[in-house]
Chain A
Amino acid sequence: MTTSCVELLERETGAFVAVDLHRELKVADVVLAERSWSSKRADLMAALLKENVPRAQWPQSLHWDWRAKAPDLKLLEARGFGIHAESGSQGLMLTKNTRHVTRLKDDAGKPLVYVDFLETAPWNWSSEPLKVRGRFGRIGSLLFREAVLHSRDEGFHGRVGLHALPQSEAFYEGHFGLTRIGPDASKQGLVYLEFTRKQAEQFLKEGGG
């Protein structure tokens, strides 16, 4: 497994903490991560119910289960990325690099890395209604950067595509500057966004995230 050291921001202290970034997660790694996350998901759901928080304000990936996504890692087109600290897995990303092509005009039809799923550990989620602050920040940024680098390494020139949950649209569009293509009827109406070759080059030039 190829691994390197990256830094996460610990929100409480404002300190940067060195953690491992893995680029070739196996099925077992992802299953293990979900085992530790699922009890936290249940705790969070119980707290949201107790506080009568409207469903619209619940984290939209609360129902995800990475154990169901993990077998895809057996496919040659799939790649699993993860950030791991001593306290366990802090974030996961699953990418595919074969079945999706660029939709934007300039590079239409050319291959890209598709971010199938990206999620941070439930204890890193901030919730305004519950007045909780997630422990680590920067996880989404670091994982997205890996998707861009993976695309470059595959010869796809940094092109990346993804469908964003409504709560994440602003993150991808506003923070990274992905181009919004629009709602996709074939994917439950989720908004599809793309990072072009030019955007990727600029993103990496500026340090990436």
Chain B
Amino acid sequence: MKSADSKLLRYLPGAGSTAETRSVPVATSGLGASLYAAKRKDLSKTAVIRQALRRYQLIDARTALGEKLIFEDDKLQKKAEVMVL
């Protein structure tokens, strides 16, 4: 992302290491998915949730600037735009 173009970043709260513990209800399937991701990526469950939040913010910031999220498969010569609502 070109920082100079990222006007939206001005309105984001910014990162920090101050941590608070919150309980959030998550469906069993969601927990299963986070466990699977943790195992595959060699991460703790907490690290998976943190990564998910960071990725969500990054994608949200870029799509809000009018950018597109695209999945591309070189082998299959496939390209698909992911609709982010």
Contact = CB atoms under 8 A, between A and B. Distances in A.
Interface of A: 2, 23-24, 26-27, 68-79, 97-99, 107, 109-111, 154-157
A111 B51 contact: yes
A74 B58 contact: no
Contact of B16 (A24, A77, A111, A155): A24
B47 interface: yes
B55 A155 contact: no
A75 B43 contact: no
A67 to B, nearest CB: 9
- Max chain A C-beta neighbours (<10 A), residue from B42, B44, B57: B42
B54 A77 contact: yes
A73 B61 CA distance: 13
B61 A75 contact: yes
14 contacts: A27-B14, A71-B10, A75-B9, A75-B61, A76-B58, A77-B15, A77-B57, A78-B15, A97-B54, A98-B58, A107-B42, A111-B51, A155-B43, A155-B46
B3 A68 contact: yes
A98 B43 contact: no
A71 B6 contact: yes
Nearest to B1: A72
Interface in B29-53: 40-44, 46-47, 50-51, 53
Given A68-B4, A75-B61, A98 B17 contact: no
Given A27-B14, A76-B54, A76-B57, A71 B43 contact: no
A71 B55 CA distance: 17
A111 B1 contact: no
Given A69-B3, A107-B42, A155-B43, 10 more contacts: A24-B15, A71-B3, A72-B6, A74-B14, A75-B54, A98-B54, A98-B55, A111-B43, A111-B51, A154-B47
Interface of B: 1, 3-4, 6, 9-10, 12-17, 40-44, 46-47, 50-51, 53-55, 57-58, 61
Given A71-B9, A75-B9, A109-B41, A98 B51 contact: yes
Contact of B58 (A26, A70, A77, A156): A77
A99 B42 CA distance: 16
Given A98-B58, A107-B42, A74 B17 contact: no
The 10 tightest CB contacts between A and B, nearest first, are A155-B47, A74-B12, A76-B54, A74-B9, A77-B54, A71-B9, A98-B54, A71-B3, A74-B14, A76-B15
A24 B9 contact: no
A73 B15 contact: yes
Contacts of A109: 40-41
A26 B42 contact: no
